[in-house]
Amino acid sequence: MKNIQSDLNEHLLRQNFTSTEEKEKLQLENCQKKAKNFVELENGIAILSDLKNNKSYIYAGKFADELNIFKDKNVQEIESIWKKELFDQLNSEDVLQKHILELQFFQFIKNIPFEQRKDYCVISRLRISEKQNQKSLIHKMFYFSNSENCNTELSLCLYNFDFFQSDSYTGMIINTATGNINYQAEAENSTFLSIREKEILKMTQQGKKSKEIAEILFISINTVNRHRQNIIEKMRVSNTTEACTMASKLKWI
């Protein structure tokens, strides 16, 4: 099974980007201002990733000095959406959970009305590696979408110290307008797929064919195939193999 970064690359970087150059530039400049303002106000680190061009802009405040990273305080550009220099300072298990949550968030954001997307973000608590005296940081991530085709074009990650120390990872999707919280553990047990759809997907993952699944569940082959098609449409994937891989990574099955 491919690693989670490969999955994120496939879904984030291989979208059908069709917005005009003028709109792309305007949205990028707007997000760059947000990143700069955050760093000036919070002394944190802001990383703005351009998903269409697979590059990132790094804005580093004094917080970066504590981690001994991003020493150049001018805006840095890197040809990647991955921030290895930062991730190397963090608990590796927490980084993995962070990436799983981001994949869940990407799946979630695709299936809500465009006008509501701006109200959602990801928040996670990430432990800094042991050599950093068990401190932790807060990570917030926002996706910015294109109004024409609803593709996610930019992601903005904000990092600063967690002043309410904890010895464990925490991740959640929040609605900043209503205060509603969807904890990562709840997202893993998502009702996005019905119980029957999860059953069929699990059996498909085990290599069972539609006829065999139908016999086990005492339903018709047509019903099994209809559930398969519903799963593909809900998850916006190409086939049930891809759906199984994605659902497994998201811990839905």
Please report the domains of the chain, with CATH numbers, ordered by start residue.
4-185 (3.30.450.20), 195-250 (1.10.10.10)
**If you average pLDDT over every residue of the chain, what do you get?**
88
pLDDT > 90 in the chain, percent? 55
- Encode 53-89: b = buried (16+ Cβ within 10 Å), e = exposed: eeebbbbbbebbeebebbeeeeeeebeebbbebbbeb
Strand pairing category for 55-60 and 120-127: unpaired
Q: Per the structure block, which two tokens stand in for 58?
A: 């790094």
pLDDT band (50, 70, 90) for residue 22: confident
Virtual CA dihedral for 91, 93, 98, 104, nearest 10 degrees? Answer: 180
In terms of C-beta distances under 8 Å and separation of at least 24 residues, what long-range contacts does 207-210 make, across chains too?
A: none
Task: Provide the whole-model pTM.
Answer: 0.76
pLDDT at 186 over 70: no
Measured from the Cβ of residue 197, the count of other Cβ atoms closer than 10 Å reads: 20
Residues 6+ apart with CB under 8 A from 250: 100, 103, 104, 107, 187, 188, 190
State the Cα–Cα distance between residues 86 and 69, nearest whole angstrom. Answer: 7
Mean local confidence (pLDDT), 45-53: 96
Phi-psi region of 37 (alpha: psi -120 to 50; beta: other; left: phi over 0): alpha
Alpha helices in 57-150 (DSSP H): 62-67, 84-87, 92-110
Q: Are 217 and 199 in contact (CB under 8 A)?
A: yes
Q: What is the pLDDT of residue 140?
A: 97
Strands 170-175 and 136-145: unpaired
Between CA 58 and CA 108 the distance in angstroms is 26
Cα angle: 43, vertex 152, 88; to 5 degrees: 45
Residue 188 reports pLDDT greater than 60: no
pLDDT digit string (tens) for 61-100?
999 998 999 988 899 999 999 988 999 999 887 887 898 8
Distance (Å, whole) CA 47 – CA 59: 6
Q: How confident is the model at residue 2 (pLDDT cuts 50, 70, 90)?
A: very low
Residue with the bigger pLDDT between 125 and 104: it is: 125
